[in-house]
Structure 1
Amino acid sequence: MKRPQAQVAVLQAADAQEDRRIDDVAAEADLKPEAATRAAFELEADGLLAVSEETLEHYELTEEGDQYVRESLPEQDLYEAAIDAGAADGPVQMGQVIGASGLEGGAVDIALSNYARKAYGEIDSGEITANQDADPGSDPEMLALEAVADGRVEDADADALEQLERRGLLDVREETVRSVQLTDDGVTALMEGVEAAETVDQLTPEMLTSGEWEDVAFTEYNVEADAEDVSHGKEHILRQTANRVKDTLVGMGFSEMEGPHADAQFWINDCLFMPQDHPARTHWDQFALEEPEEIGHLPPDLVERVRSAHKEGVGPDGEGYHSPWTEDIARGMDLRGHTTSLSMRYLSGHQVGELDPPERYFSVEKVYRNDTLDPTHLLEFFQIEGWVMAEDLSVRDLMGTFTEFYEQFGITDLEFKPHYNPYTEPSFELFGTHPETGEVVEVGNSGIFRDEVLTPLGVDCDVMAWGLSLERLLMLMYGFEDIRDVHGTLCDLELLRETEVIR
C-alpha cells in the first residue's frame, strides 16, 4: 500500500493500545502539528486511525488574584474588622469598620459587594453586622485561589472557580487536545507494509513555470479536515453597531455633529438649565480637568442670557432657581458627561452657524461619568445623541421616531415611562426587554427642550431630543448580560471573536 509520506509517518508513530496526543505523534514523525493533524484526519477517513478530542481548561491567576492569595480577599478583611468592632453583637457604623479594615479605593466596593453574598453579615443604612458563625478561613473562593496557585485545580470547587473568573481573579483558557490510536485496519495495513508515495501537497510557482506539475502525483485534498485556527483582527462589534446606527440615522435624514470631549461646564450643564449646585455637577458624577482648568472663551451675550435664565427664569411667568450662579464655575473644564454639549453648541449657532427649522442632527460619541462599575454601567460609554428642530413637535413625534429607529435593529417592544429632567418637559425614559434574562432594561432618556434651554440659545421653535445608550442597544440585540464582556480591560476576547454580526 502506498500513502503520502506524512500519513505513513503518522501511522508508524501511532499506537494500537493507547491514545497518543497529536503533538507527541507529530514530534516523533518529524512533522509540524498541523501537518500531522491533517494526515490523521485523512487516515481516519480511510478507517486506519481513530481521532478523539477533549477540551482542557487551563487556569491562571490574574495580578489581582495573585495579590489576594498572598494577602486575603477584601471581604475577609472587612469581616475581621467587623468582628473586632463588635458587629457580631449588633449593628456598627460602616465607616468605622471600613477605616479599621485598612481597605481603600476600589477594594472597599469589592468587599461590600461580596460581604452579604457570602453571608458574612448584613449591610443596611450605613450600618454593618457580622455573622458570628461565618468562617472566612474556609472561604471557597480563597481555597480555590490557593488551589490554582499550587497547581491543584482539581481540588477547587467548580462554582468558586466560576465566580473567581467573573470577578477577574482568574484567567481561563480552553485548549482542544486531539489524540490518535491505530484501528484494526491500521494495524493490518502496517503489518502488510505501507510505503511512502512520492506525492506533492502544494503547487508552487516553480512547478508551474518548469512544467514539473504535469509529471507529479498530487495528494488528495480533504475538504473536511480541520484547518489551523488563526485568530485575526476585525472591526469591534461595538464599532460595527455604531456605524450601523450612523447609517440608520443618516437614512432618516439626520446630519452628524462633532465636537470636543473636554468642554466647559457652560456647554455641558449651564446651557441645559442645570443649576450649578445640582448634585450631578459634582466630582461624584463628573471628571474635572486640572489642565486646562477653564475654557479660554465663551460668547458673552450667550453667557448673560443663560445666567439670566438660571437667576430669573424665562418669560413673564418664568422662575429661575434663585441659587448662586457664577461664570467662574461655567468656565470650568470637564470631560463631557453627555453629548448634549454638542447639541448646545449646534443649536446656539456657535458651531456651524445659525440653523433654520426643520433640522435634524445626531452624534454617536463617547461620554465619561464617575459611575460604579456593574453589568450595565461603565466609566466610559457611547451615547447616541439626537434632536429634531421643527414647528409644533409633540411627544407622539418623539415616540414615533424611536419606534422607527429601534425597528431597524429588530427591537419592537419599547416601553415609555414619564420622567423628570431639568432641561426637558415633558420627558420620558425608554425601556426594552433583554432577550435572555427577560429583564426590562433602560436604554435612553428623552423629551422636549424647555423654554429655559431654547430661549437663551435663540431658538424660537420646538426641539425634541434624546440620549440613548449604544452599549445597551448592543445588549438587547445580542443578548449580552454584562457589558464589561464586550469592551474594557476585562472584555471576553473569545466572545468578540465568535459572535456573529447581526445585519
Structure 2
Amino acid sequence: MKLPESQVAALNAASATDETPIDRLAEEAGLKPETATQAVFELRDEGLLEVTERESVEYELTDEGAEYVESGLPEVRLYRTAVEAGTDDAPAQMGRIIGASGLEGPEIDIALANFGRKGYGDIDSGELSADPDADADDDPEAAALAALAEGGAVDDVDADVLDQLVSRNLLDRHERVVRTITLTDAGVTALMEGIETAETVDRLTPEMLTSGEWQDVEFTEYNVEADAPEVRGGKTHVLRQTAERVKDVLVGMGFQEMEGPHADADFWINDCLFMPQDHPARTHWDRFALDVPPIEHLPEDLVDRVESAHREGVGEDGDGYHSPWSEDFARAVALRGHTTSLSMRYLSGTEVGELEPPQRYFSVEKVYRNDTLDATHLLEFFQIEGWVMAENLSVRDLMGTFVEFYEQFGITDIQFKPHYNPYTEPSFELFGKHPTTGELIEIGNSGMFRDEVLEPLGVEHDVMAWGLALERLAMLTTGAEDIRDLHGTLADLDFLRGAEVTY
C-alpha cells in the first residue's frame, strides 16, 4: 500500500490500544497540527484510523479577574464599606460610601451594577442602603475566582456563576473539541503488511506547468470538510452601527449635524430650556457638577432675556416661576444631561449665526445622568437630538417625522403618550414594542418648544424638537433585552459578535 508521507507518519505515531490526542500525534509524527489533522481524517475515511471527538471547556482568569482575587470584587468592597458606615440601619449618600470604599474609575460602575443584582442592598435617589442579611463572605463569584487562582477545578461551580464571570470579563472560556486517535484493525494490518511512501505534491507550480511534470505527479487530496481554526476579526460595534445608520437616515431627511461640548454651562443645559433652577433634576440627584471655574463668556443680552423669562415669564399672560435665579448657578459647569444644550446654542445663533427657516438639525452624542442602573438606564448613554424650525408646524408634523424615521429601521408600531416638559407644550413620549419580550419601551421624548424658550433666543418661528434614546433603538433592532448587553463592563461579547443592525 502506498500512502502520502504525512499519512504514513500519522499511522506510525498512532496506537491500537491507547487513544492519542491529535496534537500529541502531530508532535510525535513531526507534522504541523493542521497537516496531521488532514492526514488523520483522510486515514479515517480509508478505515485505517478511528477518531473520537469530545468537547472540552476550560476556564482561565483574566488580568481583571486575577486583580479582584487580590483586592476583592468591587460590589463586595462597596457592601462592606456600606455596612461599616451603618447603612444597614439608615441609608447614606451614595457618593460618600463610594468615596470611603476606595473604588475608582470603572470599578464604581461595576460595583453599582452588581450591588443590587446580588441583593446586597438598594440604591434609590442617590442614597445607598445595605441589606443586613446579605453575606458577602460567601459570594459565589468571589469563591469561584479564588478556586481558579489556586489551580482548582470548576466542576463543582454552578454553571450560571461561570457564565456571569465570563460575561464580566473576569474569566476566559476556552471551548474546543479534543480529538483522539486509535488504529483500527485494518490500520494494524496495513502496518504489519508494510506501507510505502508515495511521492505526492500539494500544489501546482508554474515550473511544473512549464516542464510538463504535472502530468506524472500524484496530487494530495484535500478534505474540504476538515475543521479549520476559528478566526474572529474585528467589527464595528452594534451601537456604532446604529449611530451611523441614524446619521444616514437623518441626513437623507434633510438634517445637518450639530456639535458641541460635553461639559457646559448650566445656562445652556437648563436655563435656556426654561428649567427652574430649583427643579429636582438640577440638583445632585440627577446632575454631575464639575469642580472647575465657571463659564465666563456668555451672551450678556441672552442671559438677561433668559433671566427675565424665569422671573417674569413671556408675553402678557406670562408669570415666570417665582423661584430663585442665580447667574452664578447659570455659569456653573456640569456634564450635559441632554444634548438639547446644543440645540440652544444653535437656535440662539451662537454657533452658526442667525438661522432663517426652514432649518433641520440633529446630533447623536453622549449625555450623562445620575440614574439608577437597570435594564433600560445607564449613567452615560447616547441621545439622538433633533429639531426643525419652520412656519406653522404642528404636532402632526412631529409625529409624521417619527413615523418616517422609525420606518427606516423596520419599526412601524410607534405609540405616543401625552407628557409634561418644562420646555415644550404640547409634549409626548414615544414607545416601541420590544421584538422578543413584547414589552413597551420608552424610546424618546418630544414636543413643540414653548415661547418661554424661543423668545429669549430670538426665534420667531415654530420649532419642534425631540430627544431619542440610541441604546433603546438598538435594543429594538437587535433584540437585546438589557441595555447593559450593548456596552459597558457587563456587555455580552458573544451577543455583540453576532448582532447586526436591521433596517
**Aligned-pair CA distance for 1:275:** 2.0
Q: Per the alignment, do residues 191 and 412 of structure 1 end up closer, same or farther by CA in structure 2, a change over 3 Å counting?
A: farther
Distance 1:94 1:454 in 2: 42
Query: 1:29 maps to what in 2?
Result: 29
Query: 2:236 maps to what in 1?
Result: 235
Is it true that 1:175 corresponds to 2:186 in the alignment?
no
Query: 2:8 maps to what in 1?
Result: 8
Query: 2:481 maps to what in 1?
Result: 481
Distance 1:487 1:114 in 2: 15
Query: 1:416 maps to what in 2?
Result: 416
**Aligned-pair CA distance for 1:176:** 1.0
Query: 2:90 maps to what in 1?
Result: 93
Q: How does 1:276-291 map to 2 (within 5 A)?
A: 276-290=277-291
> 1:378 is matched by which residue type in structure 2?
L
> 1:404 is matched by which residue type in structure 2?
E
User: Which is worse superposed, 297-306 or 117-126?
Assistant: 117-126
Distance 2:160 2:337 in 1: 38
Query: 1:301 maps to what in 2?
Result: 301
Q: 8 Å contact 2:477–2:501 — kept in the other structure?
A: no
Is it true that 1:396 corresponds to 2:396 in the alignment?
yes
> 1:344 is matched by which residue type in structure 2?
M
Distance 2:300 2:425 in 1: 27
Is it true that 1:350 corresponds to 2:347 in the alignment?
no
Is it true that 1:259 corresponds to 2:260 in the alignment?
yes
Distance 2:437 2:38 in 1: 42
1:32-81 residue CA offsets vs partner (Å, 9 max, x unmatched): 22332333344444444444444433334456655665576677789889
1:409-454 residue CA offsets vs partner (Å, 9 max, x unmatched): 1222322222222211122222222223333322111111111111
> 1:367 is matched by which residue type in structure 2?
V
Q: 8 Å contact 2:474–2:501 — kept in the other structure?
A: no
User: Which is worse superposed, 13-22 or 420-429?
Assistant: 13-22
Q: 8 Å contact 2:271–2:306 — kept in the other structure?
A: yes
TM-score, normalization by structure 2:
0.83
Residue ranges of structure 1 left out of the alignment (5+ in a row): none
Query: 2:310 maps to what in 1?
Result: 310
SS in 2 for 1:473: helix
User: Which is worse superposed, 227-236 or 77-86?
Assistant: 77-86
Q: 8 Å contact 2:91–2:128 — kept in the other structure?
A: yes
Query: 1:274 maps to what in 2?
Result: 275
> 1:281 is matched by which residue type in structure 2?
R
**Aligned-pair CA distance for 1:470:** 1.3
Q: 8 Å contact 1:4–1:219 — kept in the other structure?
A: yes
User: Which is worse superposed, 334-343 or 195-204?
Assistant: 195-204
Q: 8 Å contact 1:147–1:155 — kept in the other structure?
A: no
Q: 8 Å contact 1:34–1:228 — kept in the other structure?
A: no
Distance 1:80 1:233 in 2: 39
Distance 1:211 1:338 in 2: 74
Q: 8 Å contact 1:47–1:183 — kept in the other structure?
A: yes
Q: How does 1:97-108 map to 2 (within 5 A)?
A: 103=101
SS in 2 for 1:154: coil
Q: 8 Å contact 1:22–1:33 — kept in the other structure?
A: yes
Q: How does 1:45-444 map to 2 (within 5 A)?
A: 45-61=45-61, 66=66, 69=69, 92-95=89-92, 103=101, 130-131=132-133, 140-150=140-150, 151-165=152-166, 168=168, 170-181=170-181, 182-203=183-204, 216-290=217-291, 293-444=293-444
User: Which is worse superposed, 203-212 or 269-278?
Assistant: 203-212
Q: Per the alignment, do residues 93 and 21 of structure 1 end up closer, same or farther by CA in structure 2, a change over 3 Å counting?
A: same
SS in 2 for 1:232: coil
Query: 2:497 maps to what in 1?
Result: 497
**Aligned-pair CA distance for 1:215:** 5.9
> 1:249 is matched by which residue type in structure 2?
L
User: Which is worse superposed, 246-255 or 493-502?
Assistant: 493-502
Query: 1:457 maps to what in 2?
Result: 457
Distance 1:74 1:203 in 2: 59
Higher relative contact order (CA 8 A, sep 6+): 2
> 1:226 is matched by which residue type in structure 2?
D
User: Paired residues, what number?
Assistant: 496
Distance 2:387 2:395 in 1: 13
**Aligned-pair CA distance for 1:114:** 6.8
User: Which is worse superposed, 304-313 or 352-361?
Assistant: 352-361
SS in 2 for 1:365: strand
User: Which is worse superposed, 192-201 or 345-354?
Assistant: 192-201
Q: Give the superposed CA RMSD.
A: 3.8
Q: Per the alignment, do residues 494 and 74 of structure 1 end up closer, same or farther by CA in structure 2, a change over 3 Å counting?
A: closer
> 1:218 is matched by which residue type in structure 2?
F
**Aligned-pair CA distance for 1:184:** 4.5
Distance 1:154 1:404 in 2: 53
1:237-264 residue CA offsets vs partner (Å, 9 max, x unmatched): 2222211111112222222222333332
Distance 2:379 2:121 in 1: 29
**Aligned-pair CA distance for 1:315:** 0.8
**Aligned-pair CA distance for 1:169:** 7.3
Q: 8 Å contact 2:310–2:321 — kept in the other structure?
A: yes
**Aligned-pair CA distance for 1:462:** 1.7
Distance 1:394 1:429 in 2: 16
Distance 1:489 1:391 in 2: 46
User: Which is worse superposed, 61-70 or 488-497?
Assistant: 61-70
> 2:90 is matched by which residue type in structure 1?
Q
**Aligned-pair CA distance for 1:495:** 3.2
**Aligned-pair CA distance for 1:115:** 7.6
Distance 1:449 1:498 in 2: 41
Q: Per the alignment, do residues 115 and 240 of structure 1 end up closer, same or farther by CA in structure 2, a change over 3 Å counting?
A: closer
